[in-house]
């Protein structure tokens, strides 16, 4: 996995720091260094870019203004000497916010976030093409459509998959089942439960209402669950 990366900053020193930091990071391939947003626009029109390191205070067009012009921006890590724009940056779904001067350790942490997010995006793109899964249960192999699954219940070394018409018991772990399901459609809400997002009727407090059942949201899964729900609904 290599992230095609663009650095947009009007300070040559910032270019040099990122160039030096990325020398030993094999997952980053720098495709260009730009001194303003207009120069970056030309590169983005001609090349596929996966990740941008974007300065905020630049001539002609600020980093924030530039980000607002993009309909489908790549992953973005903001770089700036100021902390005033952190909230606005996160409202624009930037991946991370590096305050200059930042250390290599802090830079590496931001890159690792980008790697994880990029892998998730690629996984989702692959899963969107897949509509079903084969499940072994009771000496048979069933083809089960993702759209038919309401939720999955963990039973130790086994899981029980509930649909509107039936349920299947198979010897898979919850972790393995979670890996097999489309990450954008199925959410782990408890150590014992994974739910189909499209089957959620309502959420009240710590409870998720599904057809004919209500399930509790575990404390260890609450933050991630509500973050994903809020990102979908905005």
pLDDT the model gives residue 230: 76
pLDDT digits (tens, 9 = 90+) for 145-175: 999 999 999 998 899 999 988 999 999 999 8
pLDDT(128) > 90: no
pLDDT the model gives residue 234: 46
Rounded mean pLDDT of 91-108? 90
Q: Percentage of residues in the chain with pLDDT exceeding 70? A: 94
pLDDT the model gives residue 224: 87
Confidence of residue 91 (pLDDT cuts 50, 70, 90): low
pLDDT(88) > 70: no
Architecture in CATH for domain 132-233 = Beta Barrel (2.40)
Cβ pair 228, 218 in contact under 8 A: no
Confidence of residue 81 (pLDDT cuts 50, 70, 90): confident
pLDDT the model gives residue 89: 59
Task: Look up the CATH superfamily of 3-127.
Answer: Response regulator (3.40.50.2300)
Peptide bond into 213 cis (omega under 30): no
pLDDT(231) > 80: no
pLDDT digits (tens, 9 = 90+) for 20-55: 999 989 999 999 999 999 999 999 988 999 999 999
pLDDT digits (tens, 9 = 90+) for 178-215: 888 988 899 999 999 999 999 999 999 999 999 999 99
pLDDT the model gives residue 87: 58
User: Beta strand pairing status for 28-34 and 75-80?
Assistant: unpaired
Give the chain's mean pLDDT. Answer: 90
pLDDT(75) > 70: yes
pLDDT(86) > 80: no
Instruction: Give the predicted TM-score (pTM) of the model.
Output: 0.56
pLDDT the model gives residue 127: 63
pLDDT(233) > 60: no
pLDDT(62) > 70: yes
Task: For the chain, give every domain's residue range.
Answer: 3-127, 132-233
């Amino acid at each position: 996995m290599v992230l095609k990366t663009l650095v947009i900053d009007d300070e040559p020193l910032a270019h040099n720091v990122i160039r030096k930091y990325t020398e030993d990071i094999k997952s980053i391939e720098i495709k260009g260094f730009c001194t303003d947003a207009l120069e970056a626009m030309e590169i983005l029109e001609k090349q596929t870019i996966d990740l941008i390191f974007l300065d905020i205070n630049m001539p002609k067009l600020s980093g924030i203004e530039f980000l607002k012009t993009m309909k489908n921006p790549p992953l973005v890590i903001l770089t700036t000497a100021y902390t005033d724009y952190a909230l606005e940056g996160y409202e624009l779904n930037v991946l991370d916010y590096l305050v200059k001067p930042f250390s290599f350790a802090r830079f590496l942490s931001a890159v690792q976030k980008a790697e994880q997010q990029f892998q998730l995006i690629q996984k989702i793109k692959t899963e969107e093409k897949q509509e079903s899964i084969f499940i072994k249960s009771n000496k048979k192999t069933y083809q089960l459509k993702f759209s038919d699954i309401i939720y999955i219940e963990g039973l130790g070394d086994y899981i029980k998959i509930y649909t509107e018409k039936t349920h299947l018991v198979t010897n898979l772990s919850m972790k393995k089942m979670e890996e097999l399901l489309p990450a954008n459609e199925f959410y782990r809400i408890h150590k014992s439960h994974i739910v189909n997002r499209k089957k959620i009727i309502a959420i009240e407090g710590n409870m998720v209402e599904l057809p004919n059942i209500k399930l509790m949201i575990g404390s260890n899964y609450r933050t991630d669950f509500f973050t994903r729900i809020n990102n979908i609904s905005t």
